Amino acid sequence: MAEKKIKIIVAKPGLDGHDRGAKLLSRIFAEAGMEVVYTGLRQTPEMIVEAALQEDADVVGLSSLSGVHNYFFPKVVELLKAKKLGNVLVVGGGIIPLEDIPTLKKLGIAEIFGPGTSTDTIVGFIKANVKSK
Amino acid sequence: MDIDYVAEILEGSPLAMARVMTWLENEDERARSCMEKIYPHTGNAYVLGITGSPGTGKSTLTDGVTWQLRNKELTVGIVAVDPSSPFTGGALLGDRIRMTRHSADPGVFMRSMATRGYLGGLAQFTRGAVKVLDAGGKDFVIIETVGVGQDEVDVMRVADTTCVVLVPGLGDVIQSMKAGIMEIADIYVINKYDRPGADQLFAEVQFRVDQDSSIKDRSWVPPVIATVAVEGKGEDDFLEAITAHRTYLEQSGKLLEKRRNRIHEETLQMIHHELFRIIRERLTKDSRIEQMVEEIMNHKLNPYNVVEKVVDEWLPASRLK
């Protein structure tokens, strides 16, 4: 069997044009040996989940800087489960107030990475928590 | 949760199609029995190949053709290939960005594939992914190659119709006369036609097409289509050309001939791949390959007699001629 690659969708849900971070992370994930599907801006949860489905993604990374995370992040988790993709690891980042994080985690977002998180931490977390298929 | 992947694929389940494609890419043993069972259900989809240099607009054109096909209520599968890093093995797969308008359309299945070191413009298992989409009932399967140079022509061995996308500003008339990528086109697309130099490029490509007609016997003369893909201009001409080529292939019997050649080549390639896989696995398992390398380094052996030895050992029958 050939070496397995981690496939990750990097997506920006909602009306948010700030994608420097998402683009940089896409590069970082690729440098870490992952196969990264960057979906671009202004994605609906349905679009993100459809991408995860068709790409058979292991991970979905959501980035939000516009304050919509409390709606969009759990919605993505919910739709993934509805499509029998409950095994997909969902992580988030961007500008997320600390007090929102416990709720997001309870709703199935595995981890939230705020500004200043070292990229090693993010890559390490994903590699340690990705599930085999 | 046990899933009958074969049955699910035949019903067009995206989940099953996606998973089997992953197995193919990982050379997971589960892929093989699935592929065997879905194989009899392939051969119905029309396979379109879109190739060209990086940034010529292949993804945007793929998006445009998909839109046109969807308007005719045809379903579409897309396999878009992007390069893997030769250093890290990672890949940034960006073709999906151009196709977001189809992302919630159940009539479109789009899969990104990294080359994982495979040369020729496709990934090793692009062919397999095409078969999965075909068996899954897609009317059209579009293969978008990685951005190619002059010599990555594998797509013509998989596609029924091969489209070469060109843009102005990349070279003079001699470039368009060369062998390789320029000779595999069933259709030439000059994209970014609003850019300077487009008319000249059109004339140069047309010149090549005319030359070809005097050099070789050609019952199909590749049309040259002008498009501005980001504005959707020329999409309908493009689809018309594809349809015309398909009609030509079907009526002339060339489609069957093409597919027969494809099976021939593919079967040999699969045998090659499997033999190599087995031998590589055995040679690496007990580090024999490392010993051989050491001995070659020390000039005790050379690669030529090593090849002979290895082949003799694993395929003794080959020496019984």
Residue B87 has pLDDT above 80, yes or no: yes
Residue B225, in any domain of the structure: yes
Tell me the pLDDT tens digit for each residue of B6-34.
999 999 999 999 999 999 999 898 999 99
Domain boundary among B252, B280, B307: B252
In chain B, what residues touch A31 (CB-CB under 8 Å)? 85, 88, 90
**B63 and B95 Cβ atoms separated by less than 8 Å:** no
Query: Alpha helices of B253-317 — where are they, by DSSP H?
Result: 254-285, 288-297, 303-314
What average pLDDT does chain B have?
90
B19 lies in a domain?
A: no
Domains identified in chain A, total number: 1
Q: Does one domain contain both B200 and B240?
A: yes
Nearest to A45 by CA among A12, A76, A22: A76
Q: How confident is the model at residue B174 (pLDDT cuts 50, 70, 90)?
A: low
Residue B77 lies in a domain: yes
DSSP secondary-structure letter at A4? P
Boundary residue ending a domain (B195, B221, B252): B252
pLDDT in tens, B278-310: 888 888 888 889 999 999 999 999 999 898 888
Cα–Cα separations (whole angstroms), residue B190 to B179, B228, B237: 18, 8, 12
B43-63 pLDDT tens trace: 999 999 999 999 899 999 999
Which domain CATH number covers B156? 3.40.50.300
Q: Are residues B92 and B228 in the same domain?
A: yes
Of B25, B110, B114, the CB nearest to A54: B110
| Residues of A in Cβ contact (< 8 Å) with B17 | 54
- Helical residues (DSSP H) of B1-150, grouped into ranges: 5-10, 14-25, 29-38, 58-71, 126-135
Q: Which domain holds residue B304?
A: 266-319
pLDDT band at A2 (very low <50, low <70, confident <90, very high): low
pLDDT digits (tens, 9 = 90+) for A80-104: 999 999 999 999 999 999 999 999 9
- Both B195 and B237 in one domain: the answer is yes
Contacts of A5 in chain B (CB under 8 A): 25-26, 89-90, 114, 116
Chain B: closest CA distance from residue A31 (Å): 6
**CATH for A92:** 3.40.50.280
Looking at the structure, do residues B160 and B219 belong to the same domain, yes or no? yes
Number of domains in chain B: 2
Q: Which candidate from B84, B85, B104 shows the least CB-CB separation from A47?
A: B104
Interface size, chain A vs chain B, as Cβ–Cβ contacts under 8 Å:
96
- The answer to whether residues B274 and B238 belong to one domain is no
Q: Do the Cβ atoms of A84 and B26 come within 8 Å?
A: no
Q: Which neighbouring-strand residues pair with A7?
A: A35
The reply to whether B223 and B276 lie within a common domain is no
User: Which positions 77-106 of A are in contact with B (Cβ < 8 Å)?
Assistant: 83-85
Whether residue B176 is found in the same domain as residue B304: no
ipTM, 2 dp:
0.90
Are B123 and B166 within one domain? yes
Q: Do B90 and A44 touch (CB under 8 A)?
A: no
Determine the pLDDT at residue B22.
Answer: 95
C-beta atoms of A40 and B22 within 8 A: no
Q: What pLDDT does B183 receive?
A: 85
B261 lies in a domain? no
Same domain? For B78 and B183 the reply is yes
List of chain A residues whose C-beta atoms are within 8 Å of the C-beta of residue B110: 54
Question: For residue A72, what are the domain limits?
Answer: 10-128
Q: Which residues of A touch B89 (CB under 8 A)?
A: 3, 5, 33
pTM of the model: 0.91
Average pLDDT of the residues in B220-238: 95
- Supply the angle between the helices B14-25 and B29-38 in degrees, to the nearest 10: 130
Question: Measuring CA to CA, which residue among A25, A24, A22 is closest to residue A11?
Answer: A22
Identify the domain boundary among B223, B252, B281.
B252
Considering the domain architecture, whether residues B180 and B302 belong to the same structural domain is answered as: no
Cβ <8 Å between A35 and B97: no
pLDDT of residue B177: 67
φ and ψ at residue B195, rounded to 5 degrees = -85, 155
Residues B224 and B280 in one domain: no
Write down the pLDDT at residue B1: 52
B240 within a domain of the structure (yes/no): yes
Q: Clarify whether residues B178 and B296 are in a common domain.
A: no
